[in-house]
Chain A
Amino acid sequence: MSANTPVIELRNVDKSFGPIDVLHEISLKVRAGEVLCLLGDNGAGKSTLIKTLAGVHAPTRGEILVDGQPITFDGPRDAQDRGIATVHQFGGTYPLMSIGRNFFLGMEPTKGFGPFKVFDRAKANRIAVEEVQKMGITRITDGDRLVGGLSGGERQSLAIARAVYFGARVLILDEPTAALGVKQAAHVLRIVNEAKKRGLAVIFITHQVMHAMTVGDHFAVLIRGAIAADFRKGEKTREEITDLMAGGETMADLEASIEGYMETHEGHPPKVNTAD
């Protein structure tokens, strides 16, 4: 396994729910220390793709490779055990629980013996605060604070720090900046960069081209469940990407051409050259 082997790769993945085809021949690869930005409008199949990557859905056809080995996930837990962590828009955090308790949920540090194992609050709080601070969020100093009192960006950061601490190798971020203000979003982007620096493979799902441009190495545009464009940093200008995503002329053209192509090619989307 060379250092260049993608940590996670999809090869011609289709996903159908009964008669409805949601994903068409999706091929993607992400390497360690690389950020793949997945761009697409609502209904483009982003969330189905995320769920497939996270082990929630099994692909109908095609294969998923982790470290070059084809695998089948038994469920989200299995994907997590293989180091694939998903952080959702609201961070999967619990507003009325403390930072320390949120951080260690499901992996609680305990002290004591037998049935008298006690949740080690001091240790949990200390590690949680340390890890979040390492990610550059220095405003969090008290592990007893309730998560509901944190800003959206801080909650995201906490969830990302948690995933990194528990050994995630692939980080799937589902619209982490969608609901955030400019400053908050900057926080999260800084953390995405930090995760990348640590050698994680990051899949960053977003609407905002600016955010994607800031952290992305590699971009894929999803339209109607198929990859409509796949390019590396610097290959397209911001205007071109915005146009692709925001439904400009190019977007309309692409949609029309994909549909036309699929009608004449037995439902196969056009081949897109995968950028490497």
Chain B
Amino acid sequence: MDMISSVLRRPAAASFLSLLGVLIFYVIFGGVDLGKLAGAASWVNYAARIGIVALPVALLMISGEIDISIGAMIPAGAMTTAIIAGHYELPMFVAVIAALAVGVLVGLFNGLLATRTSVPTLIITLGTLVGMQGIVLAGSKLLTGAASVPLTAPDWAKTVFGDFIFGGSHQVVIIWWIILTAVFWFLMHQSKYGNWIFAIGGDKVSAKNAGIPVDRITILLFIGTATSASFVGMCHAILFNSAQVSGGMNDIFNIIVSVVVGGVLLTGGFGSILGVFIGTITFAIVIKGIDFTAIDRNWANLIIGIMLLAAVGMNETFRKKALTAVSKKKKG
């Protein structure tokens, strides 16, 4: 019993229970074949796509801020890659560097505004979201005359960023996702920087007084979210040999839902990388796994809505448990 309650106190508990709940629901009401679902690539590919962005977004949300401009940064990364490597036929490495640089610049812009003004970051990044949508659409029309640009990627770029692995339909971004999850886990839970990010989300003024470079870390976190989003866009352009202008509005909410289901507190100060990892998987299984069930896929959004509320409710309960918990093993 003690072991169960100590597991429940972890930030990842709610996401794990959500995943379990969704699977049970799909098995009982959808007649899903779990073996077939586990072997399927569709949801893993999707999880990797949103998961790579969800990791830095989780860090940012733990620090108490939010970035919705990621929605525009995914197509921005894709279009930058396609325009440079496809339309202008410049070498691919230039396109890769440019796509990442666009992410760094937008992130820097968001971060500077967030630290220099007192405007809520939801509003700041709403501004950059809409602004970047305009730049991407008008820019690609201006430079290429079209909203969709084809490109051909050299072999090395295909292998590294946009290919299928294991000879099947799993994409190479899955490997990136797993590596990045490990890197972010180390950063957040093993290094001292994770401690600082939790503290910034807990109490910004006290963190500043404790000598933590709050502004610099906030700016770096914004660079992280924007750059990871343009990285995902770039990988997609390389994989599918083309890029289209799109709003990316769905991605914003899908990524934030994954992070919240993953146990990150919206007001900051609490969360875990493992939780976000599981939250992303859960989200991807709901969206893509529904195709493996007998349930009409139009119901997927309802399931997500219910899951989100259930997960937030569980997070609330478990956090209270965590606050009042006294570990028994060390007592007496």
**A residues lining the B interface (CB < 8 Å):** 76-77, 80, 86, 88, 92-97, 101, 104-106, 108, 110, 116-119, 141-142, 144-146, 148-149
Option from B203, B325, B331 in Cβ contact (under 8 Å) with A94: B203
A residues near B196, Cβ cutoff 8 Å: 105-106
Q: Is the CB of A86 within 8 A of B212?
A: no
Q: Which of B312-327 contact A (CB under 8 A)?
A: 319, 322-327
A residues near B203, Cβ cutoff 8 Å: 92-94
Q: How far is the CB of B298 from chain A (nearest CB, A)?
A: 38
8 cross-chain pairs, A with B, having the tightest CB-CB distances, nearest first: A94-B202, A108-B192, A92-B206, A106-B210, A96-B270, A148-B323, A149-B323, A106-B211
Option from B195, B209, B212, B325 in Cβ contact (under 8 Å) with A149: B325
Q: How far is the CB of A258 from chain B (nearest CB, A)?
A: 32
Q: Which of B279-332 contact A (CB under 8 A)?
A: 319, 322-327, 330-331
Q: Is the CB of A105 within 8 A of B323?
A: no
Option from B191, B270, B324 in Cβ contact (under 8 Å) with A119: B191
Q: Is the CB of B327 within 8 A of A94?
A: no
Q: Is the CB of B206 within 8 A of A119?
A: no
Q: Across the interface, name the chain B residue whose C-beta is closest to A162.
A: B210
Q: Is the CB of B209 within 8 A of A86?
A: yes
Q: Is the CB of A145 within 8 A of B327?
A: yes
**B residues lining the A interface (CB < 8 Å):** 186, 190-192, 194-196, 198-199, 202-203, 206-212, 265, 269-270, 319, 322-327, 330-331
21 CB < 8 A contacts A-B: A76-B209, A80-B211, A88-B206, A92-B206, A94-B198, A94-B206, A94-B269, A95-B202, A95-B269, A96-B198, A96-B269, A106-B199, A110-B191, A117-B192, A119-B190, A119-B195, A144-B327, A145-B326, A146-B323, A146-B325, A149-B326
Complex Cα gap A141–B265 (Å): 27
Q: Across the interface, name the chain B residue whose C-beta is closest to A145.
A: B326
Q: Is the CB of B190 within 8 A of A105?
A: no
Complex Cα gap A118–B192 (Å): 7
Q: Is the CB of B326 within 8 A of A142?
A: yes
Q: Across the interface, name the chain A residue whose C-beta is closest to B268.
A: A96
Q: Is the CB of B327 within 8 A of A101?
A: no
Q: Is the CB of B212 within 8 A of A106?
A: yes
Complex Cα gap A141–B326 (Å): 9
| Main DSSP-derived SS at the A contact region | loop
Q: Is the CB of A142 within 8 A of B330?
A: yes
Q: Is the CB of B191 within 8 A of A117?
A: yes
A residues near B326, Cβ cutoff 8 Å: 142, 145, 149
Complex Cα gap A97–B326 (Å): 14
Complex Cα gap A142–B328 (Å): 9
For A92, A93, A96, A117, which residue has the most chain B Cβ atoms within 10 angstroms?
A: A96
Complex Cα gap A77–B326 (Å): 34
A residues near B186, Cβ cutoff 8 Å: 116
Q: Is the CB of A92 within 8 A of B210?
A: yes
B residues near A94, Cβ cutoff 8 Å: 198-199, 202-203, 206-207, 269
Q: Across the interface, name the chain A residue whose C-beta is closest to B332.
A: A141
Complex Cα gap A96–B203 (Å): 10
Q: Across the interface, name the chain B residue whose C-beta is closest to A108.
A: B192
Complex Cα gap A146–B321 (Å): 10
B residues near A104, Cβ cutoff 8 Å: 195
Complex Cα gap A127–B265 (Å): 29
Known: A97-B202, A144-B327, A149-B324. A105 touches B195 (CB 8 A): yes
Complex Cα gap A138–B319 (Å): 25
Option from B190, B198, B209, B325 in Cβ contact (under 8 Å) with A97: B198
Q: How far is the CB of B25 from chain A (nearest CB, A)?
A: 31
A residues near B331, Cβ cutoff 8 Å: 141-142
Q: Is the CB of B206 within 8 A of A96?
A: no
B residues near A86, Cβ cutoff 8 Å: 209
Q: How far is the CB of B162 from chain A (nearest CB, A)?
A: 28
Complex Cα gap A95–B319 (Å): 11
Q: Is the CB of A95 within 8 A of B323?
A: yes
Q: How far is the CB of A137 from chain B (nearest CB, A)?
A: 14
Q: How far is the CB of A55 from chain B (nearest CB, A)?
A: 10
B residues near A76, Cβ cutoff 8 Å: 208-209
Q: How far is the CB of B180 from chain A (nearest CB, A)?
A: 15
Option from B192, B199, B270, B322 in Cβ contact (under 8 Å) with A110: B192
Complex Cα gap A215–B210 (Å): 27
Q: Is the CB of A97 within 8 A of B323?
A: no
Q: Across the interface, name the chain B residue whose C-beta is closest to A54.
A: B209
Q: Across the interface, name the chain A residue whose C-beta is closest to B269.
A: A96
B residues near A95, Cβ cutoff 8 Å: 202, 269, 323
B residues near A119, Cβ cutoff 8 Å: 190-192, 194-195
A residues near B330, Cβ cutoff 8 Å: 141-142
Q: Is the CB of B265 within 8 A of A145?
A: no
Q: How far is the CB of B191 from chain A (nearest CB, A)?
A: 6
A residues near B209, Cβ cutoff 8 Å: 76, 80, 86, 92
Complex Cα gap A109–B141 (Å): 54
For A76, A117, A146, which residue has the most chain B Cβ atoms within 10 angstroms?
A: A146
Option from B210, B211, B265, B327 in Cβ contact (under 8 Å) with A96: B265
